Amino acid sequence: MDKTHSMALLVPEIKELLSEKNFVLLKQIAKEYSPLELADCWKFFSEEERLHIFRILPARSALKVFEILDIDEQRFLLNRLSEESVTPILEGIDSPDLAKIFHKMPDRAVKKMTSLIKRQEALAHIDYLMKFPQHTAGSLMHPEFIKLSPRMSAKQALVLLQAIMKPNQKSHLSSLYVTDDQGKLFGALTIEDLLIAPEDEKLSVIMSSVEGIKLKPGTDQEEVAKVFEKYRLASAPVVDDDGRLIGILTLDDIISIVRNEATEDIAKMVGTRAVDIRERSVFRTVQFRMPWLLVTLCTGMTISFIIKHYEPILAKVIALASFSPLIAGMGGNVGSQSATVVVRSIALGQVNNKTKTIVREMCVGLVLGVFYGFFLGLAAFLIYGNQYHIEFSIVIAIAMLTSMTIAATMGAIGPIVLSRIGVDPATATAPMITTITDIISNLTYFALATILLSHV
């Protein structure tokens, strides 16, 4: 049975049992489905239904479902469930994951949650991780890791790993780190390196350099993701100012970061915020979206004044009005395309030569403008040639060329300039590019029309 078919059966069945308050049968049904299947259909239930479902899950299944859910849903459950239901979860989740959840919770709620945790080592780790700003390497790292001495042989290292490893620490084997007695990081190696090396080979010989991948705890998560992508890492070390190893970041951590950053960038590109995607309140959603829409409104009023200024030529050549939305729209589209490409290139660290990037996008806009300008000018001549002569077609063609060239250029300049002054370039996309393009293209359009068609 495929996932879609399974969910189509599972959701109505659970909803019906919840409405009938048949919790005995519901508990039996929940046991028949995997935590992954339950998490997949979680979004189809209301908040109250989710709480009922979670309460009847067996402890192991509840923990697995909780680990799969996104962080906002995890916070919701922790805030709404009883202490009896919350305690097993808090005891079963790793310290770094708990620190991520606690970071945006009120201090009072965090204090209540930590009072339910009995593991003193976990409490110490959570307290340490929460000292670092949210969305930094320090707040995301795992403070538990395996340290090996450079004086060890490959055989000694393998024996040590067998002695101290636990079943739930397999991810720690993705990369192993070599440090001195003071904890200063020397190098890294993998379990494969140990297995293929001669038994008496020293780790100082086997290990590889970590100079290019060492991260500071204050490094922003987006920069962390770039390092992982650039060097194809499975893990990376986090070191303090003295070069001592204080934590590790794994690929699993980075996958969630990339997803969150992508969601955030997509939201910003349309003038809102990532929270808007999950927000249920109409008023909060309006608050997120209003600022850029206000900018668009002001720009629209500016365009209205421009059109009013050129009313005499519009009154003479009414056909000009029919092409104005098309010219502005095409410019806005190509500008958004350029902005999206440049924002993504900046995010991936691929903009090495800013001038070259701007010139390339300008050339793209120019070529597209020539093609579509010629096409639209020809169409204008076929429709209105007898009435307004060749001058009208020339105005339409040049206006389209200008609009698309300027839009593509602004689509490249906007993100680069904002990135240079320390503003997230994702905010420079659709709203800003479209509004600037509309103003310039309309000015060009009606100014040309006034010059070339004044005799009509």
For 324-369, what is each residue's pLDDT tens digit?
888 888 888 888 888 888 887 887 677 878 899 999 999 999 999 9
Structure tokens at 182: 């003071």
Higher pLDDT, residue 284 or 122: 122
In the chain, what is the greatest distance between 2 CA atoms, to the nearest angstrom?
95
Note the pLDDT of residue 439: 82
For 387-427, what is each residue's pLDDT tens digit?
888 888 988 999 899 889 988 998 888 888 878 887 666 65
Lowest model confidence (mean pLDDT) among 15-24, 165-174, 212-221: 165-174
Q: Which H helix or E strand runs over 404?
A: helix 354-420
pLDDT at 1 over 50: no
Q: pTM for this structure? A: 0.64
SS3 36: helix
pLDDT at 167 over 60: no
Domain boundaries of the chain, sorted by first residue: 3-136, 147-265, 276-453
Residue position matching structure tokens 């993504």: 344
Statement: 3-136 belongs to CATH 1.25.60.10: yes
pLDDT at 440 over 60: yes
> Positive or negative CA dihedral for 413, 414, 417, 419?
negative
Phi, psi of 136 (to 5 degrees): -115, 165
- pLDDT confidence tier of residue 261, bands split at 50, 70 and 90: low
Phi-psi region for residue 440, left (φ > 0), alpha (ψ -120 to 50) or beta? alpha
pLDDT at 437 over 70: yes
The candidate with the shortest Cα–Cα distance to 50, out of 86, 89, 76, is 76
Phi, psi of 366 (to 5 degrees): -65, -50
- Domain 276-453: what homologous superfamily? SLC41 divalent cation transporters, integral membrane domain (1.10.357.20)
SS3 105: coil
Measured CA to CA, the distance from residue 36 to residue 41 in angstroms comes to 9
- CATH code of the region 147-265: 3.10.580.10
- pLDDT confidence tier of residue 438, bands split at 50, 70 and 90: confident
Higher pLDDT, residue 269 or 224: 224
Angle at 218 between CA 217 and CA 219, to 5 degrees: 95
Residue type, position 415, single letter? P
Contact 194, 154 (CB under 8 A): yes
List Cα–Cα distances, 300 to 293, 294, 349, 445, in angstroms. Answer: 10, 10, 35, 16
Note the pLDDT of residue 263: 59
